[in-house]
Amino acid sequence: MNLHAAAGTGNAMGALTNAVVAHSPLVITAGQQVRDQVGAEVMLANVGAPELARPLVKWSAEPLAARDVPRSISQAAHLAALAPAGPVYVSVPYDDWAQDAGAAAAHLAARHTSTAGGLPPETLAELVAALDTARSPVLVLGPDVDTAQVRAGAEIGVVQLAERLSAPVWIAPSASRCPFPTRHPAFRGVLPASIAGIARAVAGHDLVVVIGAPVFRYHQYEPGDYLPEGTRLLHITCDPGEAARAPMGDAIVADIGQAVRALSDAVAPAARPAPDPRDLPPVPDDDGSGRLDPATVLAAVAQGAPHDAIFVKESTSTTAMVFDHLDLTLPGSYYFPAAGGLGFGLPAAVGVQLAQPGRRVVALVGDGSANYGITALWTAAQHRVPVVFVILNNGTYAALRSFVNHMGVSGTPGIDIPGIDFVALAQGYGVSARRVSDVGQLREALAEALASEAPTLIEVPTTPTDPLAP
């Protein structure tokens, strides 16, 4: 990805918050004025360029000499992909590109780096012993599990691990990916993003095993004990930073794919009965008001979408209900802004569809979120990227309204955003669009959109929800 000097870097930093938390391997280059003009701070000079992107990148640099540009770009590419993957940033003065790189640069194209970080035999034995002797283990899986599955092109053993353990499975809070089939009997949903909420969710379990996620990505502040008394936590992560900063538990840094495969093959089948499937909440009826409950929208979309559909979601007040109503079975079927930085949904959906032309992408985006990345519609139209954009328009920042209520604040301005016509906006960018007001119209519009080879936007008026409601 190439950015325009300091101004372009500043514009991108909101998106970088998501990229660094999601372990996205991005090489970001930024323009810079010619070398002998940077110190004079001429127009578009970026004084101290490497400092601007920190701490939202793994590594940030500006080569000290033009001949070092190729090696710096090579370092950036390898470092971005090595575990834990993440974005890196290189500022390049534009007169450097005209300079000779020298013969040594030829070696860079042949280099290869990889991570060989499986579980050592003694560590594997300790983990297996802990799992085999646990009275009631529970698995908490995070986005790096799904990343490993996508890289492998298949499920890497988490289902086998859960079944051999007869253990329930939660998704880690605030997860940007879906690491476990949402219709599997062991699946329990997504953990709440609070200290006390997680402790309540894992009550009754003597062993919590977290794989591929931080411990934990808390959000709303609800203090309490990190874990119930007598509960042990084991943490397997590809990120040394996640391992070091966790407030409790024992952590192991390892390759997620290799670790899960080894564990799933080594643990003994448990004698305990398998967990019963959870009771899914009912789908609210269409009351004829012209505004649909978000759960009704999600259920209708799930019913009408292909079995291998990919959902890019940025309706931040409906995160928990997504896992209730969407059937997410295949790896790489769900993407969410990892750090909550708004503006992710529309452009990410375009990018995912370009990367996965054999699967259809459905973007589920709130009206507040859509405003931060609306120009992605132009890109979709210009390149005929056949994303189905579903805008859930409740006329407010429902997640913010929920926090206002949670904190007991009244009269907060700027939360409501009424009067936005997304159909007109989409048509102005060249995207076919339609507004629906009942379930029948939504199903019809979705079928038409999926039959098209061009992008389509469907605007659905919805009722606000409170994600922090008990």
Peptide bond into 84 cis (omega under 30): yes
Which band of pLDDT confidence, cut at 50, 70 and 90, is reported for residue 401? Answer: confident
Given a cut of 80, whether residue 397 has pLDDT beyond it is: no
Contact assessment for residue 166 and residue 273, using Cβ atoms and an 8 Å cutoff:
yes
Percent of the chain scored above 90 by pLDDT?
A: 86
pLDDT at residue 72 in the model: 97
More confident call, 467 vs 445: 445
Q: Strands, E, within 24-182: which ranges?
A: 27-32, 59-61, 88-93, 137-141, 169-171
pLDDT-based confidence at 88, cuts 50/70/90? very high
Tokens of 109: 């194209």
395 pLDDT more than 70:
yes
- Give per-residue pLDDT as tens, 212-243: 999 999 988 889 999 999 999 999 999 999 99
Query: Alpha helices, DSSP H only, in 251-342?
Result: 256-266, 294-304, 319-325
Average pLDDT over residues 352-378: 96
The tens digit of pLDDT for each residue in 24-76 reads 999 999 999 999 999 999 999 999 999 999 999 999 999 999 999 999 999 99
Instruction: Name which residue leads in pLDDT, 117 or 458.
Output: 458
Cα 382 from Cα 374, distance rounded (Å): 14
Phi then psi for residue 235, to 5 deg, are: -130, 120
Taking the model in full, what pTM does it have? Answer: 0.93
Say whether pLDDT at 10 is over 70.
yes
Whole-number pLDDT of residue 414: 79
Q: What does the pLDDT average to over 240-255?
A: 96
Q: Which residue has the higher pLDDT, 440 or 418?
A: 440
What's the pLDDT score for residue 121? 94
Stretch 246-255: mean pLDDT: 96
pLDDT of residue 469: 61
pLDDT mean across residues, the chain: 94
Question: What whole-number percentage of the chain has pLDDT above 70?
Answer: 98
Cα–Cα distance measured from residue 422 to residue 435, given in angstroms and rounded to the nearest whole number: 8
Does the pLDDT value for residue 411 go beyond 90?
no
- Is the CB of residue 57 less than 8 Å from the CB of residue 89? yes
The pLDDT score that the predictor gives to residue 468 is: 65
Contact 49, 6 (CB under 8 A): yes
Mean pLDDT for the stretch of residues 324-336: 95
Residue 13 has pLDDT above 80, yes or no: yes
Closest by CA position to 235, among listed 136, 117, 331, 141: 141
Residue 363 clears pLDDT 90, i.e. is over it = yes
- pLDDT, tens digit, 9 for 90 and up, residues 453-470: 999 999 999 998 777 665
Q: Tell me the two tokens of residue 77.
A: 């590419």
pLDDT of residue 470: 59
- The enclosing H or E element of 164 equals helix 158-165
